[in-house]
DNA sequence: GTCTATAATTTGATAGAC
DNA sequence: GTCTATCAAATTATAGAC
């Protein structure tokens, strides 16, 4: 299985962790290969497009993994309302436990490169869109009409991403907890009569 | 008045614009002095603490100006509900007009340096806290109790910041408009009976 | 595919003349 | 206070041996 990660995998994993904490421009390729315990040349062997191609891959892979993680929290919940709240509660817990470092794996990169790298910008847009569709499908499965489900997905993800910004700055979980309460309430209000 | 901005002012203004579009680590000091049409040495004359001190000042000054801008949109509105919605609507309009570059002036920096620069992190936290108190005071003035007003301020700002992330990535205003609708609805629901 | 050495450029920062 | 020349270090990237 994943007992012996390949050099390429180690580079991607190390990049994902560093990008999440320091951002894309704030992380050097030397730092990446050092953290991945990989030789310098391997990076350009596996990613001929250099740092930008690596960044794009990291966005897609880390974004996909985070989507799975959210699903793993959301799906076992008894209903969509508590599922929604659980996502925010656990995100707050994980953020605090990581000393306010581990929030969204791609938000920092997304803001940094939105106006300077189209390949990476498109990657962030597609990852976000995937999350939105996943969220919306959970809401429609609970009987909410598609248009409302789309709006709810947008506001839920906006609340999560925005609260991450405030919480990392303040080193508090206050915003995430308030956001989770409002997100859950909005989902409850959109639910059809029982 | 401001007909002839000083060298120091030009440096701060140029930095604020570049940081907002490219982030803190993505902007070089050489690029800053070039944009400000200032000699290189002037930067270190006015900011002996170097780039980090400049960053902290930019956060506080640009953050203060953005707070004033939001107030200028919020206050003339007939009531807090439409004031809230107006902020999101105009933010969406301004974002689209700037080719999806001009969103929050400090969010990108906040995420970049949250785990690496305490002086800058504290500056972002204090600016956000100032905005939150300003927002909460508008809500309490409308008859909402302080605890609810605080929660509403947190969720409103989270919605705005998160929607900025999604909108810059997707190059759409969809998230900002959805966020504005939910923010306004939440304020309306918290209002005391007429 | 792995790894090292190094190129070419840019980074933040300083010294010192004016 | 203004401006230039320059530094040491770090940056991304490449060449080429193994």
Nearest to A158 among B99, B154, B163 (CB): B163
pLDDT tens by residue, A116-152 = 999 999 999 999 999 999 999 999 999 999 999 999 9
A155/B178 touch (CB, cutoff 8 Å), yes or no: yes
A162/B166 touch (CB, cutoff 8 Å), yes or no: no
Q: Which nucleotides of C are covered by protein (CB under 7 A)?
A: 1-6, 10-16
Q: CA B39 → C1' D4, Å?
A: 9
pLDDT bracket for residue A3 (50, 70, 90):
low
Residues from chain B contacting residue A159 (CB–CB below 8 Å) = 155, 158-159, 162
Q: Is the pLDDT of residue B15 over 90?
A: yes
Q: CA A130 → C1' D8, Å?
A: 46
Judge contact between B179 and B163, C-beta under 8 A.
Answer: yes
The pLDDT of A53-74, averaged and rounded, is 96
Assess A182–B contact: CB distance below 8 Å, yes or no.
Answer: yes
Q: What is the structure's pLDDT at B110?
A: 98
pLDDT bracket for residue B54 (50, 70, 90):
very high
Q: Is the pLDDT of residue A1 over 80?
A: no
How far A190 CA lies from chain B's nearest CA (Å)? 12
The answer to whether A27 CB sits below 7 Å from nucleic acid chain D is yes
Q: What is the structure's pLDDT at B93?
A: 98
Judge contact between B38 and B10, C-beta under 8 A.
Answer: yes
Instruction: Give the separation between CA A15 and CA A43, rounded to whole angstroms.
Output: 11
Judge contact between B103 and B117, C-beta under 8 A.
Answer: no
Buried b (16+ CB within 10 A) or exposed e, B62-93: bbeebbeebbebbeeeeebbebbbbbbbbbbe
Q: What is the structure's pLDDT at A2?
A: 47
pLDDT bracket for residue B170 (50, 70, 90):
very high
Judge contact between B21 and B101, C-beta under 8 A.
Answer: yes
Nearest CA in chain A to B163: A158
The pLDDT of A14-27, averaged and rounded, is 95
Nearest to B111 among A154, A168, A182 (CB): A168
A168/B114 touch (CB, cutoff 8 Å), yes or no: yes
A115/B107 touch (CB, cutoff 8 Å), yes or no: no
Q: What is the structure's pLDDT at B2?
A: 46
Instruction: Give me the helices (H) in B75-117, please.
Output: 80-97, 107-113
Q: Is the pLDDT of residue A32 over 90?
A: yes
Spatial CA neighbour of B89 closest among B149, B153, B174: B174
The pLDDT of B103-109, averaged and rounded, is 98
Q: Is the pLDDT of residue A194 over 70?
A: no
Spatial CA neighbour of B172 closest among B99, B102, B104: B99
Q: In 3-state terms, what secondary structure has residue B23? A: coil
Assess A154–B contact: CB distance below 8 Å, yes or no.
Answer: yes
pLDDT tens by residue, B114-158 = 999 999 999 999 999 999 999 999 999 999 999 999 999 999 999
pLDDT bracket for residue B3 (50, 70, 90):
low
Nearest CA in chain B to A163: B158
The pLDDT of A101-121, averaged and rounded, is 97
B182/A155 touch (CB, cutoff 8 Å), yes or no: yes
Q: What is the structure's pLDDT at B194?
A: 66
The pLDDT of A47-61, averaged and rounded, is 96
Assess B165–A contact: CB distance below 8 Å, yes or no.
Answer: yes
pLDDT tens by residue, B71-95 = 999 999 999 999 999 999 999 999 9
Nearest CA in chain A to B21: A115
Residues 6 or more apart whose Cβ sits within 8 Å of residue A38:
A7, A10, A11, A14
Assess B154–A contact: CB distance below 8 Å, yes or no.
Answer: yes
A23/B107 touch (CB, cutoff 8 Å), yes or no: no
Specify the residue for token string 């580079």: A11
Instruction: Give the separation between CA A38 and CA A188, rounded to whole angstroms.
Output: 49
Q: Is the pLDDT of residue A85 over 80?
A: yes
Q: What is the structure's pLDDT at B193?
A: 82
pLDDT bracket for residue B4 (50, 70, 90):
confident
The answer to whether A15 CB sits below 7 Å from nucleic acid chain D is no
Assess A157–B contact: CB distance below 8 Å, yes or no.
Answer: yes
Assess A111–B contact: CB distance below 8 Å, yes or no.
Answer: yes
Instruction: Give the separation between CA B89 and CA B73, rounded to whole angstroms.
Output: 10
Percent of chain B with pLDDT over 70: 98
Specify the residue for token string 């060298």: B7
Spatial CA neighbour of B124 closest among B47, B52, B63, B49: B63
- The secondary structure of A105-172 as a DSSP string is TTHHHHHHHTTT-HHHHHHHHHHHHHHHHHHHHHHHHTT--HHHHHHHHHHHHHHHHHHHHHHHHHT-
Judge contact between B52 and B119, C-beta under 8 A.
Answer: yes
Q: Is the pLDDT of residue A5 over 90?
A: no
Angle A118-141/A50-74 helices, nearest 10 degrees? 10
* Residue-averaged pLDDT of chain A: 96
Q: Which nucleotides of D are covered by protein (CB under 7 A)?
A: 1-6, 10-16
Nucleotide whose C1' lies closest to the alpha carbon of residue B54: C12
- The secondary element (H helix, E strand) that includes residue B149 is helix B146-170
| CATH fold label, A52-190 | Tetracycline Repressor; domain 2 (1.10.357)
Nearest to A111 among B111, B154, B182 (CB): B111
Spatial CA neighbour of B165 closest among A172, A168, A148, A31: A168
Angle A80-97/A146-170 helices, nearest 10 degrees? 20
């Amino acid at each position: 299985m994943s007992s012996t990660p390949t050099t390429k995998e180690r580079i991607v994993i190390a990049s994902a962790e560093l990008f999440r904490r320091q951002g894309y421009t704030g992380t050097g390729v030397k730092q990446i290969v050092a953290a991945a315990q990989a030789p310098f040349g391997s990076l350009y062997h596996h990613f001929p497009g250099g740092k930008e191609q690596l960044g794009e891959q990291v966005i897609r892979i880390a974004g996909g993994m985070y989507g799975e993680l959210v699903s793993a929290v959301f799906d076992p919940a008894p209903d969509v309302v508590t599922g929604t709240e659980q996502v925010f509660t656990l995100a707050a817990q994980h953020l605090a436990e990581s000393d306010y470092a581990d929030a969204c794996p791609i938000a920092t990169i997304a803001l940094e490169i939105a106006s300077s790298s189209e390949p990476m910008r498109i990657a962030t847009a597609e990852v976000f869109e995937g999350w939105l569709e996943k969220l919306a499908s959970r809401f429609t499965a609970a009987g909410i009409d598609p248009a409302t489900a789309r709006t709810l997905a947008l506001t839920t993800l906006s609340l999560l991403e925005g609260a991450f910004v405030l919480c990392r700055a303040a080193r508090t979980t206050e915003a995430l907890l308030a956001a989770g309460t409002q997100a859950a309430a909005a989902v409850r209000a959109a639910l059809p009569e029982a």
